[in-house]
Structure 1
C-alpha cells in the first residue's frame, strides 16, 4: 500500500488525516515535535490499525535538514505537510508565525526534492486565510471568493497583530510553495487544501482548556459560560468539519484531477448565534451557560464563497453544521 508522510502529526487536522489514512489501509509515517506528543497520538489512535503508523520526532521544522532523515524512508510516495503554527498568543510575529511557516514550507519542499525522488505528490494544508482579503470582510462587502482568489496582505500589515500575522503566514507559505514548484520543477505535483474555520471533535483529548485548538475554542467558551455576557452577532462566515478536511487531504493524492490545484473545502456559512442555537437545542443541560439568544437581528453575510471547482473534483462535504456542532461539544464537554 502507498506510504504516506504526514508532518505535524499531533495537530487537530493532522490527527484526523492520520485516522482516515489508517482506516483506508495506508502505511503512515507521522512527524511530531516531542516524545510526549508521540505518545498522545499513539494512544488516541490505538484502535485504528496503529501497527501501520510510524511516529518520528522532528523538534523544529524550521531548522535546515529537519526532515531529511525521515524523507529518506524507502518507498515514500506522498507527503502531506500540515505542520504550521496557529497560535495567536505570540511574542514575536515574524519569528513565531511568519518565519516557521515560510521556512518550514520551503525547507520540506527542498528536502523532498533532494532526499525523496520516489515522492510523486505533495499536499499542503493551507487556509481560507490565504484566499480572503480581510479588508473586504471588515467593510461588509459581500465579495465572492473562489480558489483563484489570493489574500493581498503585506508583511507590514502582518506585523500589526498576531491575527494578521497568522493570516499572512498561511498566505506567504502557500505562495512560497507554488513559487518553488514553478522555479524548481520537481518530480512531484502539488495540491493545497484551503479550508475556512474548521470545527469538529478532537481526537487527542486536551489536558486543559488552554490546549484546545484555536478554531474549537469558540465552543468551549460557549458551553463553559465564558461567553455568557456576550451579545452574539449573526454575522456569518464559512466553515467546514474537520473530518471533511481530512478526507480531502486523502482525495488530494488519490484523484488525478487535483494536480496543481487549490482546493477550497467549505460546507457553508455559520455565525456564533447559529452555534449557540444548536447547542441549546441539543444540550439543554448547557443552556444556562449560553449567552442570550433573544435576538431580532437578521443574518448578515459579509462575504460569499464559490468552491464549485473543488466540489466538482472532491464531491460535496458530508457533515452538516448540526452534526459538527454536536460532535464537537461532546468531545469538549468534560472540560467544563
Structure 2
C-alpha cells in the first residue's frame, strides 16, 4: 500500500508539531514548510524521523509560495494549512494580521488548484474567534455552533484592537476560503478546524522558555504568580493541543468531515481554575490556590455558550480534560 504524503504549512508551530508527531506515529510521510533552513534543521533534529522532511518558504503570502513544493512533490494528496500570524504586537492590523492571513490562505488554495490536481483533502486551521462573539462583542444569550460567525466586521478588525485584528484575520481568511471553494469549484474538499484556547505540552519539549506561545504563556503566567498576588479574572474555553492536532487528522481521514467546520472545544476555564489545579498537585509551587467560587460569575461575564455536538460526533474520540492538560503543561514548564 502506498504511503500517503501530507504537507503542512507553518511546520514549527505549537499545533503543527503535534500534528506532525501524530501523523508520523500513524505512518504518514510529512513535508513541512518553515521560514528558514535554521528552523527546518532544528525541527528535523527534534522530530528524528526519516519520514519527515522540510522545505523553506520564507513568505507564505507570496502568490508563488507553494509553487515549488507542489510541483516537486506530486505525491502530496493532503494539505494542512496551519500557518497564520499569531501576535498582538502589531503596528497595522490590516497589513500585519488581516492581509497575511487572507492572502496566505488564498495563495495556498490557488496553488493547489493549479499545480496539484492529485490533491484530495485540504484542512485549514481557523479559530473559535471566527465563530464566537468576544470582549465588546460578547453576547451571553447566544449559543454558538459550527454554523455561527463572529459579529466582528472587517472595518472593526482593521481599526480597533490587535486582538480584534487577530480574530478578524481568522474570520476573513476562512470566509475567503469558503468563497474560493464556491467560485472555483476545485476537485479537492476542504475542512476547517476552529479551536478555542489550547493548553498542553510542547510536542518535542521546550527549547526556550522566553519564547513561549500565547497558550503556554497563559499557564506560565499563573505558575509565576506569588502567594500574595491577585489572580487575574479571566475565563474562556479550552481544548488540549493534542486533541486539536488529532482533529486535523480526522478532518482529512473522515468522509463525514468533508466541507465541515469543526469547533474543537472541551470545557470552560478560568485563571483561578488553573491555579487551583496546579496548587493541588505541585506542593512546592507557591502560588495563590485559586478561588473556584468565582468561576460561574466569570463564565457569565465573558465565556461564550456553545454547542459543538456535531463536531464531537464527527471526531468520535474522548477528549483530554483540563486537569490533565494543565498538569502536563505545568510539568513541562517546571522541568
28, 34, 39: which is aligned to 2:41?
39
Say whether the 8 Å CA contact 1:136–1:143 is kept in structure 2: no
Shift of 1:333: 1.6
TM-score, normalised via structure 1 length: 0.92
Partner of 2:313: 312
Choose 184-193 or 145-154, whichever is displaced more: 145-154
- CA change 1:163–1:284 in 2 (3 A) is same
Choose 86-95 or 113-122, whichever is displaced more: 86-95
Distance 2:39 2:328 in 1: 23
- CA change 1:173–1:42 in 2 (3 A) is same
Partner of 2:7: 5
Say whether the 8 Å CA contact 1:231–1:291 is kept in structure 2: yes
- CA change 1:216–1:228 in 2 (3 A) is farther
TM-score, normalised via structure 2 length: 0.93
Say whether the 8 Å CA contact 2:273–2:292 is kept in structure 1: no
Say whether the 8 Å CA contact 1:40–1:204 is kept in structure 2: no
Partner of 2:179: 179
- CA change 1:144–1:228 in 2 (3 A) is farther
Shift of 1:206: 4.2
Cα displacement string for residues 57-92 of structure 1 (whole angstroms, at most 9, x for unaligned residues): 000101120111111212211000000011111222
Q: Which runs of 5+ in 1 are unaligned?
A: none
Say whether the 8 Å CA contact 1:231–1:292 is kept in structure 2: no
Cα displacement string for residues 176-205 of structure 1 (whole angstroms, at most 9, x for unaligned residues): 110000000001001000110011101244
1:322 correspondence with 2:319: no
Q: Please give the secondary structure, in 2, of the residue aligned with 1:193.
A: strand
Shift of 1:227: 9.7
Cα displacement string for residues 4-23 of structure 1 (whole angstroms, at most 9, x for unaligned residues): 10000000000000000000
Distance 1:333 1:28 in 2: 31
1:199 correspondence with 2:196: no
Shift of 1:146: 0.3
Q: Please give the secondary structure, in 1, of the residue aligned with 2:50.
A: helix
Cα displacement string for residues 250-283 of structure 1 (whole angstroms, at most 9, x for unaligned residues): 1111110001000011111111111110111111
Distance 1:134 1:120 in 2: 35
270, 294, 297: which is aligned to 2:294?
297
Partner of 2:248: 249
Partner of 1:332: 333
Choose 3-12 or 30-39, whichever is displaced more: 30-39
Partner of 2:277: 278
Shift of 1:128: 0.2
Partner of 1:125: 125
Partner of 2:260: 261
Partner of 1:81: 81
Shift of 1:148: 0.5
Say whether the 8 Å CA contact 2:5–2:78 is kept in structure 1: yes
Shift of 1:133: 1.7
Say whether the 8 Å CA contact 2:126–2:170 is kept in structure 1: yes
Matches within 5 A, 1:46-195: 46=48, 50-72=49-71, 73-134=73-134, 138=138, 141-158=140-157, 159-195=159-195
- CA change 1:87–1:226 in 2 (3 A) is farther
Give the length in aligned residue pairs. 327
- CA change 1:298–1:324 in 2 (3 A) is closer
Distance 1:210 1:245 in 2: 24
Say whether the 8 Å CA contact 2:137–2:151 is kept in structure 1: no
- CA change 1:86–1:226 in 2 (3 A) is farther
Say whether the 8 Å CA contact 2:279–2:289 is kept in structure 1: no
Q: Please give the secondary structure, in 2, of the residue aligned with 1:64.
A: coil
Shift of 1:142: 3.9
Distance 2:210 2:226 in 1: 13
